């Protein structure tokens, strides 16, 4: 990517993810272009590994600069399940199945963890991570959002993501956290801040990296 360039391709088949991410990036003067490609996913118990391999796969077909993302819902009482299997669990058990597994369980603690890989071309990439802590609702609430949104209540809130507008969800969400980091990083590239840090400190200390 030419430093200061302001268009980023978001590689996902999920319209909700694209809308959420592009809204955040717009605050940084970055325009998001939607690339509806589903990168191949490896089987791994690490979201980080999954997102890196997604990036390698996307690199074969999508011109840089682009971002691929991978997210999981980690539920404390289930030992972090569904985690990296979130997509599979949603399409098999569904959110009803997850609620059933939590029947009678008092500890409802959970978190969304998101990784994003930004590929800038010339084998330059950077990985970002964001987390939102919260809890699992007793029953699904709200028509908004997607995936696990109707059962996830972020810390500090009372509504589920499913009951929130896009703007409200973005006040809390892992995806907003992730794309704010990416937006700040892109801004720092275009202002030369990252380059200066690298020269002064002998390397980008990756404060914003995951």
CB 175 within 8 A of CB 159: no
- Least Å distance, CB 44 to ligand IMP, is 12
Tell me how far CA of residue 144 lies from CA of 98, 108, 109, 127, 186, in angstroms: 19, 21, 22, 29, 30
154 binds ligand IMP per the rule CB under 6 A: no
Site of tokens 């109707």: 150
156-175 residues in contact with ligand IMP (CB under 6 A) are 161, 173, 175
Using CB under 6 A, which of the segments 31-39, 56-64, 145-153, 176-184 binds ligand IMP?
Answer: 145-153
Q: Does the protein bind ligand IMP through residue 149 (CB under 6 A)?
A: yes
Which residue carries 């980008």 as its tokens?
A: 204
Give the nearer residue to ligand IMP in terms of CB position, either 3 or 96: 96
Q: Which of 35, 39, 58, 71 binds ligand IMP (CB under 6 A)?
A: 71
Query: Taking CB under 6 A as the criterion, which residues in 14-33 touch ligand IMP?
Result: 14
Residue 99 near residue 151 (C-beta atoms within 8 A): yes
Tell me the HSE value of 3 on the side-chain side, using a 13 A CA sphere. Answer: 9
Instruction: Pick the closer one to ligand IMP by CB: 147 or 183.
Output: 147
70 among known catalytic residues: yes
Per the structure block, which two tokens stand in for 16?
Answer: 């909700």
10 or 189: CB nearest ligand IMP: 10
* Residue 22 CB, nearest approach to ligand IMP (Å): 14
Q: Tell which one of 147, 154, 157, 183 touches ligand IMP (CB under 6 A).
A: 147
Q: Which residues are catalytic?
A: 70
Write out the residues near ligand IMP by the rule CB under 6 A.
14, 69-73, 86-87, 90, 145-149, 161, 173, 175
């Amino acid at each position: 990517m030419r430093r200061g360039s302001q268009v980023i391709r978001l590689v996902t088949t999920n319209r909700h993810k694209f809308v959420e991410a592009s809204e955040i990036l717009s605050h940084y003067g970055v325009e998001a272009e939607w690339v509806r490609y589903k990168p191949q996913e490896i089987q791994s118990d690490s979201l980080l590994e999954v997102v890196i391999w997604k990036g390698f796969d996307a690199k074969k077909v999508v011109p840089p600069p682009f971002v691929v993302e991978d997210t999981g819902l980690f539920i404390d009482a289930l030992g972090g399940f569904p985690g990296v299997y979130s997509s599979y669990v949603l399409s098999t058990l569904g959110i009803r199945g997850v609620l059933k597994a939590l029947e009678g369980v008092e500890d409802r603690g959970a978190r969304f963890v998101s990784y994003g890989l930004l590929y800038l071309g010339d084998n330059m990439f950077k990985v970002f991570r964001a987390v939102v802590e919260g809890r699992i609702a007793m029953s699904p609430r709200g028509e908004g959002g997607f995936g696990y949104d109707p059962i996830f209540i972020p810390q500090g809130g009372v509504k589920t993501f499913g009951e929130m507008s896009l703007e409200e969800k973005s006040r809390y969400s892992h995806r907003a956290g992730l794309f704010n980091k990416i937006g700040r990083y892109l801004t720092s590239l275009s202002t030369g801040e990252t380059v200066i840090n690298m020269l002064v400190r002998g390397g980008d200390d990756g404060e914003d990296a995951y």
